[in-house]
Amino acid sequence: MQTTNYNHRYILGISFISALGGYLFGFDFAVIAGALPFLQEQFGLDAYWEGFATGSLAIGAMIGCGIAASVSDKYGRRVGLLLAAAIFAISSIAMALATGRDMFIAARCMAGVGVGMASMLSPMYIAEIAPAHLRGRMVAINQLTVVIGILVTNIVNYALRNSGEDAWRWMFGLGAVPSTLFFIGAWWLPESPRWLVQVNKVTQANTILTKIADSNFANNSITAIQKSLTSSTKTNWRTLLNKAVLPAVLIGIGLAVFQQLCGINVVFNYTPRIFESIGASQDDQLLQTVFIGCVNLVFTILAMLLVDKLGRKPLMLLGAGGLAILYIIVVQLLGAGSASVSWFLLAAIGIYAMTLAPVTWVLISEIFPNKVRGAATSVAVLSLWAAYFILVFTFPILFEKFKDSTFYIYAAICAIGLLFVYFKVKETKGKTLEELENVMMGH
């Protein structure tokens, strides 16, 4: 049997550049945790506005998903990534210069548009360009850059904590630097060969595929892509309701919603508030965000090593079950005002980073048929951001009312998620996107 020669350096290079969108996602996601104590003072935020200011990122992200779907299907994945990078840069400066609460929320909503576009396009682009045996690891690079973005942002926030009442402006404004680097890098990216075949630019697709591997790989890939597109009509949203496609779409939505409602992102976004409840100082609260970022990074790297070996489903089950147990312990320790709650919150972050965080994105990038991938991915990611908004908007209100018992709600959601994954999610490791299309559609 003839072995294929892959250009691993090229594959890794384009995966890392496109995954810079993940870094910016991580930045905008994490920067609010360090800035919230300053914003509360600057704009007089109560629990409602605290939740809304945090969740406004998700409102923009939902808009961004819709924009990304139409732009990526009409003009290509690369153009969508360039647009996302420009939006990131402009919104970072706008947040830093905000003169009032409403202007800040509008700018954060704009940042969310960039986040929504990148959260959909980066993993989809990598999945479409990476060979099957490397795809899980390459898509997980996107999650790796997300957590590097979170860690670097937490360290910068901690370093800026004593630099005056305008420290938060620097926290947000510095996002313009990686945004500009992402924009420059995206110019270098090739277009997705799957999209090029879809718009009948087969010669260009062949050129890119022969850079990824040899001509035999290129020819086989083009044949498989064309075969998967033969029954394709022009994709519209109604296509997603087709009974052959709908089961995959519903599973994608279920995975996306569960990844958020499992509750871990309240630990990322509201670390200061949670640790304030057990009497930690502001310095200690911000230091905890750095510890969380470190654990998040280490366990994401572990996930990258495991996702193509252990498979997607075992990791998802481990994440759901592990979080349910840890949340119950967290409730007891928060109620007792114990500082040791930190260790169990870090364990929860570690389990999430190794399982639900990266694997959900891998599955969303894999399970949809080629002909509806753009639209179906955007619906799943739209659902993810809607769930994130619900989670972070409600947490300050719930925590004010129920205190530590709020984590019982997330434990129950994790138990439901465990059953959903066990009964509804199929293993996808090692299969091409075209083979998965047959598995998901019952062929």
In this prediction, residue 236 has a pLDDT band, given cuts at 50, 70 and 90, of low
Mean pLDDT along residues 341-369: 91
Q: Is the pLDDT of residue 420 over 90?
A: yes
Sign of CA pseudo-dihedral 198, 199, 201, 204: negative
For residue 217, give the 3-state DSSP assignment. helix
Mean pLDDT along residues 63-85: 91
Contact 150/296 with Cβ under 8 angstroms? yes
Q: Is the pLDDT of residue 245 over 90?
A: no
Q: CA triplet 414, 419, 425: central angle to 5 degrees? A: 110
Give the whole-angstrom CA distance, residue 262 versus residue 345: 13
Instruction: Output helix, strand, coil percentages for the chain, rounded to the nearest 5.
Output: 80, 0, 20
In this prediction, residue 235 has a pLDDT band, given cuts at 50, 70 and 90, of low
DSSP characters over 292-350? HHHHHHHHHHHHHHHTTTT-HHHHHHHHHHHHHHHHHHHHHHHHTT-TTHHHHHHHHHH
Mean pLDDT along residues 78-98: 95
Contact 116/65 with Cβ under 8 angstroms? yes
Q: Is the pLDDT of residue 442 over 60?
A: no
**Predicted local confidence at residue 185, as pLDDT:** 92
pTM for this one? 0.83
Burial of 138 (C-beta count, 10 Å sphere; 0-12/13-18/19+): buried
DSSP characters over 290-302? HHHHHHHHHHHHH
Q: Is the pLDDT of residue 191 over 50?
A: yes
Sign of CA pseudo-dihedral 41, 388, 112, 282: positive
Q: Is the pLDDT of residue 428 over 80?
A: no
Q: CA triplet 244, 67, 120: central angle to 5 degrees? A: 60
Give the whole-angstrom CA distance, residue 199 versus residue 246: 24
Contact 216/4 with Cβ under 8 angstroms? yes
**Predicted local confidence at residue 439, as pLDDT:** 59
Write down the mean pLDDT value for the chain.
89
Percent of the chain predicted with pLDDT > 70: 95
Q: Is the pLDDT of residue 298 over 70?
A: yes
Contact 252/363 with Cβ under 8 angstroms? yes
Contacts of 88 (CB under 8 A, 6+ apart): 24, 28, 111, 114, 115, 118, 175, 178, 179, 182
Q: Is the pLDDT of residue 1 over 50?
A: no
CA distances in angstroms from 57 to 49, 63, 106, 149, 168, listed in the order given:
13, 10, 9, 16, 16
Mean pLDDT along residues 74-93: 94
Mean pLDDT along residues 158-164: 89
**Predicted local confidence at residue 162, as pLDDT:** 87
Q: Which CATH number fits domain 8-189+231-440: 3.40.50.880, 3.30.420.40, 1.20.1250.20, 3.40.718.10?
A: 1.20.1250.20
Q: Is the pLDDT of residue 193 over 50?
A: yes
- If one compares 435 and 235, the residue with the highest pLDDT of the two is 435
Contacts of 404 (CB under 8 A, 6+ apart): 277, 330, 331, 334, 335
Q: Is the pLDDT of residue 319 over 90?
A: yes
Sign of CA pseudo-dihedral 314, 318, 320, 321: positive
Q: Is the pLDDT of residue 374 over 70?
A: yes
**Predicted local confidence at residue 52, as pLDDT:** 95
pLDDT 10s digits, 103-157: 999 999 999 999 989 888 888 888 888 887 787 777 778 778 888 999 999 999 9
Give the whole-angstrom CA distance, residue 194 versus residue 259: 27
Mean pLDDT along residues 242-255: 89
**Predicted local confidence at residue 434, as pLDDT:** 66
Q: What letter represents residue 382's amino acid?
A: L
**Predicted local confidence at residue 410, as pLDDT:** 97
